[in-house]
Amino acid sequence: MPFNYVKNDLDDQFERIPTTFSQNFFYQFSVTGVSKNEIIRMRNSGKLTDRDLKISILLFKQTFATAKQIGDYLGEEEYHIRSRLRELVKRRVLNSFYLSEFEMKQSVRDAMIIYCLDFGGKYLVSHYGGEDTSDWYSTDNMMGSDLVARHLISTQFFVNLHKSAGESVVHFRKKPPMKVEKKHLTPDFEFTLDVDFTQKYLIGEIVLDGDESLSFRDQAFKLDYLLTTNAWRKYHYNDDEPPVLIIIAENDVVARNAAVVLNRATKIDNRKVLLTTFERMSKPFYEKGVFLIYDPETNKLRNVIVNSFKPQQ
């Protein structure tokens, strides 16, 4: 009986990844598997390039990415970087894995390869990327396939955001830990845009089909307290207004259902909630129809243009 595994023809439909699959890493993580001094020497000699550093920083911040996502972020075709990614895995700068129903000893040519940081990348980022890697652990890369899928969706949002807004993206962080009213809140991501020399703070949630009637309801109550009181100032004191909430939904139906939950269960202003879907966010973020807002009077979603995502001149 053949093994079931996630194939590379999945494209960007990460919501289709089965929730019960397991990670099959190319290497077992080992701090003794790579020398910090060797990574530093390779960087100084030019064997590790600026592009390698940029890829490592991306994976340090985003946790997971496919070759296509990395290529899109760099502005290169996927086939141009595949051989280099394999080399970075061989040098233990990166690690990679695929997702399957059972543990698979052999490699599979048509599996979707997902990349993450390895110890060599940690050393590269800490010495040359200006990032604090003291809280990075190899176990950060180990999780269930359902969470891997959410990370990939978040990475896709970041890549598309970067392509749309460019240098206007001041800051982007996945899974920022927050505490509101003695309860822990962890949005899927937060980021800051520089718009006309003013910083705009946004937080985001990913909502898959079925979430809006279960887990998202609990999250909505916490978001309500964060966004309708001054609790958000603890995490972003530079802005004069509460952050805008972005909902990335699996499709338009899920987006509307999530908006209804927010409208009926919270005091969050509908005009401060931008909704998009996996399909819609593939276009430049400043185009009409990429983002929607919910109209409670008609119980429908309305297309909007968000000029804040236009690159600054």
| SS3 call for 131 | coil
**300-304 sheet: strands from edge to edge:** 169-174, 189-195, 198-207, 244-249, 273-277, 291-295, 300-304
Give the model's pLDDT for residue 1. Answer: 29
Q: Residue holding tokens 């276009």?
A: 283
Using an 8 Å Cβ cutoff, are 201 and 246 in contact? no
Query: How far, in Å, CA of 232 to CA of 178, rounded?
Result: 9
Give the model's pLDDT for residue 3. Answer: 59
Query: How far, in Å, CA of 54 to CA of 49, rounded?
Result: 9
pTM of the predicted model over 0.75:
yes
Give Rg (Cα) of the chain.
20
Helix, strand, coil tally for the chain in percent (to 5): 45, 20, 35
Q: Residue holding tokens 């009181």?
A: 229
User: In angstroms, how far is CA 215 from the centroid of its own chain?
Assistant: 19
Using an 8 Å Cβ cutoff, are 40 and 127 in contact? yes
Which residue ranges in the chain fall short of pLDDT 70?
1-3, 105-106, 313
Q: Report residue 142 as tokens.
A: 């180990």
Q: Go through the chain and tell me how many residues it has.
A: 313
Using an 8 Å Cβ cutoff, are 275 and 251 in contact? no
Give the model's pLDDT for residue 2. Answer: 47
Query: How far, in Å, CA of 183 to CA of 212, rounded?
Result: 20
Q: Which domains are seen in the chain, by residue range? A: 8-142 (1.10.10.10), 149-309 (3.40.1350)
Average pLDDT score, the chain: 93
130: left (phi over 0), alpha (psi -120 to 50) or beta: left
Query: How far, in Å, CA of 191 to CA of 155, rounded?
Result: 13
Q: Which amino acid is at 178?
A: M
Strands 169-174 and 300-304, how do they pair? unpaired
Residue 205: strand pairing partners? 247
Give the model's pLDDT for residue 105. Answer: 66
Residue 5: strand pairing partners? 100
